[in-house]
C-alpha cells in the first residue's frame, strides 16, 4: 500500500536522536535552543519557540494576545479542526468564514461581513501548504485593528512573493506532526518578529516560569507545552536537507499537475507569486464520490483520504452553534465532502508516481 505520506528519516537523523538519548538530558535543553535559532535564521528576522505540538502553539499565541471569553476570532470553515478548537479553548468564539474552492483558503471577500466590535483576530490557515491571500488579510486587519495570526501548520517552506509563510502575521504557528514535511513525531513552532511576544510565549510553555523573576517567579498559570531535546535534534537534522525535501515534493506535484487528466476531478491551482510547499496534494472530485474513489484507489494499493474538516459541520460545532454548514459554508462543505488527498512524499519512486497517476486517471 502506498501511504498518503511517510516521514523521511535517515540514519543521520536517527543518530542525532540517539546522541541526545545517550547524554541522558532528555527534556528541553540545548537542542531545543539550537532548533529555535536555526528556524529563526531560516525564516529571517524571526524569534521562535519550540513546543509540544501545533495545537499548543496556537493555544499559547491566543493566550499571549489576551484573547478570551467574549472575544471573536475569524477562522476558515475548512481546516483541521484544531484551528477552531484553540479559539474555544481560550473561551472565545470562532467565527467561521467560507473558503475559496480554488485555493482552499479563507474567502477574503466574505471576511468583513463577519467582523463585529467583538472581533479581535483573524486566524488564517495556509491550507495544504499554499499561502492564504496575505495582502488582503493584512489590509483587513489594519483597517479593523485586528491581530493577524497565521496557522501555518502545513506551510513550512511555502512562500508568497518571495517571503516565507510565518513572517506575515503578528505571529505564526507550524506543526511538526508526521504528516508535515519534517517532523518531531509531535511538535510545533511559534514564530514572530516580536521578541517580547516570544518571551511571553516561553513563559507559558514552561509552567509560567519567568526566567528573569526570582525563585517565586511563576508569574503566569502556564502549561507544560515543552518539546523534548531528542525531538528537537530530530527536527534540526531533517532541517539541514529541507530544501531537498521541498524540491522533491515540488517535482512530484508538477508531474501530477501535468499528467493527471480526468474530467471527474479538479486539480489544485497555484497562482503567480505563490510557492506551494505541497504538504498535501488535494483534488476535488466532481464525477465520482469520495467513498468510491477511496475504495478504487485502495484496490490499486494507494491510500487516499478526505483533506480537512468542514469544521462547522462537526458535531461539537454543529450542536453548540446549530449550524446548517452545507447552506452557510457551501465551499467548505464541498471540499470536505468531495476533497481527496493523494500520496505525495519525497521517497516516492518513479514507478509509484506513475502508478498513482494512472490509477487516478482511471477513476
Ligand X SMILES: Cc1ncc(COP(=O)(O)O)c(C=O)c1O
Residues that bind ligand X (CB under 6 A): 53-55, 79-80, 82-83, 125, 151, 153-154, 175, 177, 179, 188
CB of 50 to ligand X, least distance (A): 12
Strand 147-151 and strand 119-125: the pairing is parallel
- CA-nearest of 68, 66, 118 to 88 is 68
Residues whose CB is less than 8 angstroms from the CB of residue 349 and which lie 6 or more positions away in sequence, other chains included: none
CB of 354 to ligand X, least distance (A): 29
Residue nearer to ligand X on the CB measure, 312 or 353: 312
CB of 36 to ligand X, least distance (A): 17
Residue nearer to ligand X on the CB measure, 56 or 363: 56
Contact between 160 and 150 (Cβ < 8 Å): no
Residue nearer to ligand X on the CB measure, 78 or 256: 78
Residue nearer to ligand X on the CB measure, 28 or 83: 83
With CB atoms as reference, the residue minimizing the distance to ligand X is: 54
The vertex-246 CA angle with 186 and 157, nearest 5°, equals: 65
- CA-nearest of 293, 283, 224 to 256 is 283
Helical packing angle, 54-64 and 82-89, nearest 10°:
40
Cell of 124: 488564517
CB of 125 to ligand X, least distance (A): 5
Strands of the 171-175 sheet, one edge to the other? 47-51, 188-192, 171-175, 147-151, 119-125, 72-76, 93-97
Phi/psi at 127 (5° precision): -65, 135
CB of 264 to ligand X, least distance (A): 26
Residue nearer to ligand X on the CB measure, 76 or 260: 76
CB of 96 to ligand X, least distance (A): 14
Phi/psi at 74 (5° precision): -80, 130
Burial class (CB in 10 A: 0-12, 13-18, 19+), 218: middle
Residue nearer to ligand X on the CB measure, 227 or 363: 227
**Tell me, what DSSP letter sits at residue 181?**
S
Residue nearer to ligand X on the CB measure, 169 or 363: 169
- CA-nearest of 211, 148, 184 to 56 is 184
CB of 23 to ligand X, least distance (A): 26
Amino acid at each position: 500500500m502506498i501511504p498518503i505520506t511517510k516521514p523521511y528519516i535517515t540514519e543521520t537523523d536517527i543518530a542525532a536522536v540517539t546522541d541526545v538519548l545517550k547524554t541522558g538530558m532528555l527534556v528541553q535543553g540545548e537542542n531545543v535552543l539550537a532548533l529555535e535559532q536555526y528556524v529563526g535564521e531560516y525564516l529571517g528576522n524571526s524569534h521562535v519557540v519550540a513546543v509540544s505540538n501545533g495545537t499548543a502553539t496556537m493555544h499559547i499565541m491566543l493566550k499571549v494576545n489576551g484573547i478570551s471569553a467574549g472575544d471573536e476570532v475569524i477562522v476558515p470553515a475548512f481546516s483541521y479542526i484544531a484551528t477552531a478548537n484553540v479559539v474555544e479553548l481560550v473561551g472565545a468564539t470562532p467565527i467561521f468564514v467560507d473558503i475559496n474552492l480554488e485555493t482552499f483558503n479563507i474567502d477574503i471577500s466574505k471576511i468583513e461581513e463577519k467582523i463585529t466590535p467583538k472581533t479581535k483576530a483573524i486566524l488564517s490557515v495556509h491550507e495544504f501548504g499554499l499561502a492564504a491571500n496575505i495582502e488582503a488579510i493584512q489590509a483587513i486587519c489594519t483597517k479593523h485593528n485586528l491581530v493577524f495570526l497565521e496557522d501555518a501548520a502545513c506551510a513550512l517552506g511555502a512562500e508568497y512573493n518571495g517571503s516565507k509563510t510565518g513572517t506575515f502575521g503578528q505571529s505564526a504557528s507550524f506543526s511538526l506532526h508526521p504528516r508535515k514535511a519534517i517532523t518531531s513525531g509531535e511538535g510545533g513552532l511559534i514564530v514572530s518578529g516580536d521578541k517580547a511576544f516570544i518571551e511571553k510565549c516561553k513563559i507559558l510553555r514552561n509552567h509560567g516560569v519567568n526566567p528573569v523573576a526570582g525563585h517565586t517567579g511563576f508569574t503566569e498559570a502556564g502549561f507544560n507545552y515543552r518539546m523534548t531535546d531528542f525531538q528537537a535534534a530530530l527536527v534540526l537534522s531533517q532541517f539541514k536537507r529541507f530544501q531537498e525535501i521541498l524540491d522533491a515534493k515540488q517535482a512530484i506535484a508538477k508531474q501530477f499537475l501535468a499528467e493527471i487528466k480526468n474530467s471527474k476531478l479538479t486539480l489544485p491551482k497555484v497562482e503567480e507569486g505563490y510557492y506551494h510547499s505541497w504538504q498535501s496534494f488535494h483534488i476535488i472530485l466532481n464525477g465520482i464520490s469520495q467513498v468510491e474513489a477511496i475504495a478504487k484507489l485502495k484496490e490499486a494499493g494507494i491510500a487516499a483520504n478526505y483533506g480537512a474538516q468542514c469544521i462547522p459541520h462537526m458535531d461539537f460545532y454543529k450542536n453548540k452553534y446549530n449550524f446548517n454548514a452545507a447552506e452557510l459554508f457551501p465551499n467548505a462543505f464541498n471540499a470536505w465532502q468531495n476533497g481527496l488527498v493523494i500520496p505525495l512524499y519525497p521517497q516516492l519512486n518513479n514507478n509509484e508516481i506513475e502508478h498513482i497517476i494512472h490509477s487516478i486517471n482511471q477513476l
